[in-house]
Amino acid sequence: MRILLVEDDPDLTRQLKLALADAGYAVDHAPDGEEAQYLGENEPYDAVILDLGLPKVDGVSVLERWRRGNVTTPVLILTARGAWSDKVAGFDAGADDYLAKPFHTEELLARLRALLRRSAGHAAPSLSCGALRLDPRAARASVNGEPLRLTSLEYRLLHYMMMHQGRVIGRTELVEHLYDQDFDRDSNTIEVFIGRLRKKLGADRIETVRGLGYRLAALPGEENA
């Protein structure tokens, strides 16, 4: 397993390099944002450990550039800023996990293992509907390559509708597939989630068929991505 470590503090770098090597990883090191961006784009790493406070280019910008350039390597963010607004910003930029300083090396290694295990999951065919694309392996969806931020319930609803795209799906059917158990089946629930999906996908993709249910379809003139 090959890991890219992006960290500007020499002592922390030495410690992490040692710990990662002990755990059996091959480690490359980038001390600033520019080098990190170059290495991440050109070398096939299995995971990246990315500090956010970096010289030249900051960590969030590096991550955003990778994700825009279709670098899908799992990224674990290391940062001194542990506020929720910082965490949310990190995940929005495309991070897969987040660890606030100061941390224990053991925890970092555990998180890294989990990250690698997830990304090594079985490949499953991705689904598409027009410019909408859903990747069951990473549990991610995107429109025109732009990642969508979906909660698991929203994702589950979209997944079901994409598997049955073009067909009118009744409310009861949707509720049954949204929740495992008999739980909160008030009639409003589906409307709430359809509303949120429309907000995130664009209003035209989900059509309301009166009295019957909903239908997901590609926009007119759209090719499957």
Partner 1 sequence: MLDLRRRSLVRRLVLIAGIWTLLVVLIAGVFLTAQFRDAAIRRFDQSLAVLTDDLYAGSSVDNGQLRAPFLTDIRATRVYSGRYWVILDKQPDGAMKPIERSRSLFDSDLMLSSAQIDQLEAAPGKTQYFDLRGPQDKPLRAAAVQARLPGYPDPVVFLAAEDRSPIDADADRFARITAFALLILGGGLILAVVVQVRFGLQPLFRLRREVALVRRGKAERVDGAYPEELSPLAGELNALLAHNQEVVERQRTHVGNLAHALKTPLSVMLTEASQQPGQLAEVVTRQAQTMREQVDHHLRRARAAARSQTSGERTPVEPILDELAVTLERIFQDKANGAGVEIDWRCPEDLCFQGEKQDLMELAGNVMENAGKWCRGRIRVDAVPVGEARMTLTVDDDGPGLPPEERAQALKRGQRLDENAPGSGLGLSIVDELARAYGGSVQLGEAPLGGLRVTLDLPRAVS
Which residues here bind partner 1, judged by CB under 8 A? 9, 11-12, 15-16, 18-19, 53, 80-85, 87-88, 91-92, 96-98, 100-105, 114, 118, 139, 149-153, 184, 192, 196
The answer to whether 109 and 81 have CB atoms below 8 angstroms apart is no
Which amino acid, one-letter code, is at 78?
L
Select 89 or 218, whichever has its Cβ closest to partner 1: 89
Provide the minimum distance between the beta carbon of 98 and partner 1 in the complex, in angstroms, as a whole number: 7
Provide the minimum distance between the beta carbon of 224 and partner 1 in the complex, in angstroms, as a whole number: 26
Provide the minimum distance between the beta carbon of 105 and partner 1 in the complex, in angstroms, as a whole number: 5
Select 38 or 103, whichever has its Cβ closest to partner 1: 103
- Classify residue 78 as exposed, middle or buried by CB count within 10 Å of its CB (0-12, 13-18, 19+): buried
| Half-sphere exposure of residue 23: CA atoms within 13 angstroms, side-chain side | 20
Provide the minimum distance between the beta carbon of 181 and partner 1 in the complex, in angstroms, as a whole number: 9
The answer to whether 36 and 65 have CB atoms below 8 angstroms apart is no
Select 24 or 183, whichever has its Cβ closest to partner 1: 183
Provide the minimum distance between the beta carbon of 199 and partner 1 in the complex, in angstroms, as a whole number: 9
**Nearest partner of 20 among 112, 88, 84, judged by Cα:** 112
Select 143 or 153, whichever has its Cβ closest to partner 1: 153
CB-CB neighbours of 117 under 10 Å = 9
